[in-house]
């Protein structure tokens, strides 16, 4: 039996287990009630920042939304079938004014602001057998890098995918005219994390800190993921890994990524990531990064995270184009208000083949706030 058939059979079986036990009376506790037994939770966040830049020719500033922690709101509904089984649904919408993916030296205002559907799915959960989710949801690879770092400074760097915060900024040609090139920060710097799509996905229950995932998307793409969270003495450990097969969809046949983070009770943390994407033609894409951080309660507001971050890519933009970036970041929690104040300064540099027009580096600095509710 091939993998697609196995996924389909497993999905059908997982859907049936929810009705295999006698139905019990649902619990009454919940955030909002509308007359039935389902609990409804409303959640969301607003994330804004101000970004300053110098591209070697000019300096300026831009007002932006946060991207990896974008402005959004959602609804989570949960109902208990019995003590072992629950059924739920999630609806989530995003609204960004000045998406960093669209803001650069020539575009100060993003006129495309509108509601975007992020999540629309239903799920069946069993304490012993795991969770089955159907509908629009995160791909197996989604969040594998920006949810990796155990240090609190991760909030200043969008996890390990910092270019999400300044993605559309353009490099300038290193010529007498210093014209803007067609090369953006995001086209050179990125991890291999995916986004959201319609699919069926199964996640195992936790076994000694380990969880496994498998998903089948539209078009025949599929992926598997591994998540591990545990603590050994005074050291907290997190591992994230995935493999995705996208042959027949786009120009990437398959890709994988592995990341790990450790954090000592002293507050010191170290996080690293490496990934490779196999292309149908040309060189494979390579991504890597590392963050050294320190987390402590330095004031009465909440946790403070400071960190130094480095990331790089090979051939992601095109064969022979490599990128290196490094920077410093701070993230301050205001626990009583569900708020984070964050900032970073990043230096972005790109190497292109000697036969191509060389480009200047970019320096970006931003400060922002994220309020969750």
The torsion angle over the Cα atoms of residues 214, 217, 223 and 228, rounded to 10 degrees, is -50
Q: What is the pLDDT along the chain (373 residues), one digit of tens a residue?
A: 454 444 444 444 444 333 343 333 333 334 676 667 789 999 999 999 999 999 999 999 999 999 888 999 999 999 999 999 999 999 999 999 999 999 999 999 987 778 999 999 999 999 999 999 999 999 999 999 999 999 999 999 999 999 999 999 999 999 999 999 999 999 999 999 999 999 999 999 999 999 999 999 988 899 999 999 999 999 999 999 999 998 867 777 899 999 999 999 999 999 999 999 999 888 999 999 999 999 999 999 999 999 999 999 999 999 999 999 999 999 999 999 999 999 999 999 999 999 999 999 999 999 999 999 9
What is the pLDDT, as a whole number, of residue 112? 74
Distance of alpha carbon 17 from alpha carbon 64, whole angstroms: 46
pLDDT for the residue numbered 282: 86
Task: Name which of 343, 333, 289 is nearest 311 in CA terms.
Answer: 289
Contact 293, 154 (CB under 8 A): yes
For 174, other C-beta atoms within 10 Å of its C-beta total 15
pLDDT of residue 10: 46
Q: Is 131 in contact with 124 (CB distance < 8 Å)?
A: yes
DSSP per residue, 137-160: EE-TTTTTTTTT--SGGGGGTTTT
Distance of alpha carbon 148 from the chain centroid: 9
Q: CA-to-CA distance for 56 and 173, rounded, in angstroms? A: 10
Q: What is the pLDDT of residue 234?
A: 98
- CA separation, residue 180 to residues 168, 174, 272 (Å): 12, 9, 33
Q: Is 335 helix (H, G, I), strand (E, B) or coil?
A: helix
Question: How many Cα atoms within 13 Å fall on the side-chain side of residue 164?
Answer: 23
**Domains in the chain, please, with CATH?**
45-70+139-372 (2.40.160)
pLDDT at position 223: 97
Rounded Cα distance, 20 and 91, in Å: 27
pLDDT at 2: 52
């Amino acid at each position: 039996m091939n993998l697609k058939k196995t996924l389909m059979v497993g999905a059908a079986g997982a859907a049936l287990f929810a009705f295999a036990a006698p139905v019990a009376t649902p619990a009454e506790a919940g955030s909002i009630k509308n007359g039935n037994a389902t609990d409804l939770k409303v959640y969301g966040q607003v994330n804004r920042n101000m970004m300053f830049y110098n591209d070697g020719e000019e300096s300026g500033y831009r007002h932006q939304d946060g991207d990896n922690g974008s402005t959004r709101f959602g609804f989570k509904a949960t109902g208990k079938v019995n003590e072992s089984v629950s059924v739920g649904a999630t609806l989530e919408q995003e609204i960004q004014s000045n998406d960093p993916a669209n803001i650069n030296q020539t575009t100060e205002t993003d006129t495309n602001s509108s509601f975007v559907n992020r999540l629309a799915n239903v799920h069946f959960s069993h304490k012993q057998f795991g969770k089955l989710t159907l509908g629009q949801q995160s791909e197996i690879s989604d969040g594998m890098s920006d949810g990796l770092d155990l240090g609190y400074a991760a909030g200043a760097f969008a996890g390990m995918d910092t270019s999400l915060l300044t993605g559309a900024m353009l490099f300038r040609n290193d010529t007498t005219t210093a014209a803007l090139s067609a090369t953006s920060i995001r086209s050179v710097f990125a991890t291999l994390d995916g986004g959201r799509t319609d699919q069926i996905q199964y996640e195992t229950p936790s076994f000694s800190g380990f969880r496994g995932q498998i998903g089948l998307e539209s078009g025949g793409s599929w992926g598997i993921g591994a998540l591990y969270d545990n603590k050994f003495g005074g050291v907290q450990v997190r591992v994230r890994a995935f493999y995705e097969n996208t042959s027949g969809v786009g120009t990437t046949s398959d890709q994988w990524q592995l990341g790990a983070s450790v954090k000592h009770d002293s507050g010191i943390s170290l996080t690293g990531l490496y990934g490779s994407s196999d292309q149908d033609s040309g060189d494979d894409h390579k991504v890597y990064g590392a963050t050294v951080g320190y987390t402590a309660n330095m004031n009465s507001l909440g946790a403070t995270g400071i960190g130094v971050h480095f990331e790089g890519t090979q051939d992601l933009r095109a064969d022979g184009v490599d990128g290196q970036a490094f920077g410093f970041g701070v993230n301050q929690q205001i626990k009583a208000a569900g708020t984070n104040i964050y900032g970073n300064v990043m230096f972005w540099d790109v190497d292109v083949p000697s036969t191509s027009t060389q480009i200047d580096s970019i320096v970006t600095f931003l400060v922002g706030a994220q309020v969750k509710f």
